Structure 1
Amino acid sequence: MTSKTLVVNTDLSHHLLSAIRSAAPDWKVVASKDSKSIQEDLEQAEIVLHWKSAAANTLLQNNNQLKWVQAWSAGVDSLPLSGLQQKDVMLTSANGVHAFPISETIFAMILGLTRKIHTYVRQQQEKNWHNGGLELEIHQKTIGIIGTGAIGQETAKIAKAFGMKTLGVRHSGKLVNDFDGMYQTEQLEQVLSQSDFVVITLPLTKETTHLFGKEQFRQMKDTAFLINIGRGEIVDEEALIQALRNKELAGAGLDVFETEPLPADNPLWEMDNVIVTPHTAGATEHYTERVVKEIFIPNLRYYLLNGIPQKNVVDYKKGY
């Protein structure tokens, strides 16, 4: 009997690869980040861990065995969702592995902006001894978290340590732990008008594209800060730039942008009240370990018993 094929389209450490092989002992498990060198295996793969654009044509056009793809990222908007759906391929995301590093980045930005750390770094380079207008605290303030998945929940949990009031926005409006209030998307204005910090942790979908524009920035306090670690296209970047110039917002911490890399002539680079990071909020020393051990292997074991994965299954209609 010919064994089924599982392709890991990246290089893994020996212990992680061994753990996958132990979970699927009767399967042929192939691992390589070079899609060309494993093209024949990709054509026969029933399961693929780590979608790569270099392998897209092979998987979508030449593979009739493919049943499940485990994405390497939480966001799947860059994958050919319609093509995978047409082939009836199940897709799972890496949602959940980012909760610790991204929540840390969110508070690094909030604290950096309020305690003027970004200002002091610039002044240090200039050897300029000045208080930089330092006055703000985050204790007892209100934080609005737009998107209450794993990242949003971890952010709310940390916010509670600062005595902050936590407001969330989610489709259902159902309250979850560490939130003082929960609102539905159509009630977004109520959250924006109350919040001292607005944090976007949403995935990119048709519904969330340019969810934040001129009107939303006008609804926010002019003393409020915007933090976006979701996707750049959720924010109308030109509207954000104008809002910052017009002092409709106090500042912004941005890890994602409509165009990446952020063009050198983009005004956000030089704004004193903006922190720019290069889409690295989710980077962590534990990323690979978490994807494989906390998501993929449990999903693999469930798949081998039930024919479907269990965790983080993407709803193609929702786009996440």
Structure 2
Amino acid sequence: MKKMVITRNIDQDYITQINAMIPDWELIVGKDKNIWQEHLKDAEIIAGWHNGIEEYCLAPHSKLKWLQSWSAGVDYLPLEEMNSRNIYLTSANGVHAYPISETIFALMLGLTRKIHTYVKNQQKKTWHHAHMGLEIHEKTIGIIGVGTIGKETAKIAKAFGMHVLGVRHSGKPEDYVDEMYTPDQLDQLLPQCDYVVVTLPLTKETNQMFGAEQFKQMKTSAFFMNIGRGEIVVEADLIQALKEGTIAGAGLDVFETEPLSPESPLWEMENVIVTPHTSGSTDHYNQRVIENILIPNLKEYLSGHIPSINLVNFSKGY
């Protein structure tokens, strides 16, 4: 009997729906590894990844043919080995567009309108203007990575009358983006921006993409947001740029090492907002993964086709 393993707790309605699609399969569902660990080596489909899974599902006699990641980023997965074994890999890309774009603007508005400073003042019962005077309207935003998240961010930016610059590999135009650049044109984009937002996945090409040189190309009044991956930024260079006033401030949800060390100066900086890699958190997460990605992909797979929604290109790393 074929097996499908879902390493997450999901609603019974979804379990019933998936069971109806694969009546002749054994479906194993649950977050506790004791529920599914012994089934991994026999599973043809696995949805959701945990550390240590590769020991079973990538063993010599493993039956795994398709892995549906529960996350958008796949940089932590054994991509080369999966590629060599011709395993299909699909990601949860697109699930985060609403919550992450909301977080991006929360960070941008928080820094612009000094909300983070006022929260600290409130805790101390301090009534102080904090020299607040900046506006977000009609400013220029550079979105580094115009994928699903970047497109939603551009759409919201237009509600603020912002001038939107984008970066994507293809350079292909996109709705709500006024000017599109390619990664090798980053030095042309950065000097124009009042806000620089990184929404890229971590790949060999994006690793340490932002360092001292890039921060020097930015306006001293510009704010830097990173909700992609911490390793895209040389963190020491960012800290130096913030200390020296090379850039005005930063909103950061991701870091080179997580959790962020208590010794990191980023915690104490007045011009920085730190969030603990939660920009994609939402009550609708499982619903979107299952309804928009897993079930449509499962239909394709069962009909003999390659699951096409968010199919990862191993050569690109996303």
Rounded to whole Å, the distance in 2 between the matches of 1:63 and 1:276 is 44
Question: What is the TM-score normalised by the length of structure 2?
Answer: 0.98
- Number of residues paired by the alignment? 318
Match of 1:270 in 2: 268
- State the SS of the aligned residue for 1:139: coil
- State the SS of the aligned residue for 2:166: strand
Correspondence 1:1-320 to 2 at 5 A: 3-61=1-59, 63-320=61-318
Shift of residue 62, structure 1, vs aligned partner: 5.4
AA aligned to 2:95 is: V
Rounded to whole Å, the distance in 1 between the matches of 2:304 and 2:112 is 50
Shift of residue 260, structure 1, vs aligned partner: 0.3
Identity of aligned residues (%): 58
- State the SS of the aligned residue for 1:53: coil
- State the SS of the aligned residue for 1:33: coil
- State the SS of the aligned residue for 1:188: helix
Shift of residue 86, structure 1, vs aligned partner: 2.1
Rounded to whole Å, the distance in 1 between the matches of 2:238 and 2:311 is 33
Of the structure 1 ranges 225-234 and 47-56, higher mean CA displacement relative to structure 2 is found in 47-56
Rounded to whole Å, the distance in 1 between the matches of 2:183 and 2:135 is 28
- State the SS of the aligned residue for 1:18: helix
Rounded to whole Å, the distance in 1 between the matches of 2:101 and 2:286 is 18
Shift of residue 21, structure 1, vs aligned partner: 1.6
- State the SS of the aligned residue for 1:168: strand
Is this contact kept in 1: 2:28–2:35, CA < 8 A?
no
Shift of residue 297, structure 1, vs aligned partner: 0.3
Rounded to whole Å, the distance in 2 between the matches of 1:37 and 1:295 is 24
Shift of residue 63, structure 1, vs aligned partner: 4.5
AA aligned to 1:176 is: E
- State the SS of the aligned residue for 2:5: strand
- State the SS of the aligned residue for 1:193: helix
- 5+ residue gaps, structure 1, are none
Is this contact kept in 2: 1:10–1:50, CA < 8 A?
yes
AA aligned to 1:191 is: L
Shift of residue 25, structure 1, vs aligned partner: 2.6
Shift of residue 42, structure 1, vs aligned partner: 1.2
Is this contact kept in 2: 1:35–1:54, CA < 8 A?
no
- 5+ residue gaps, structure 2, are none
- State the SS of the aligned residue for 2:110: helix
Is this contact kept in 1: 2:56–2:62, CA < 8 A?
no
Q: Report Cα offsets for 1:114-145 as digits up to 9, x if no partner.
A: 00000000000111100111100000000000
Shift of residue 51, structure 1, vs aligned partner: 1.2
AA aligned to 1:317 is: S
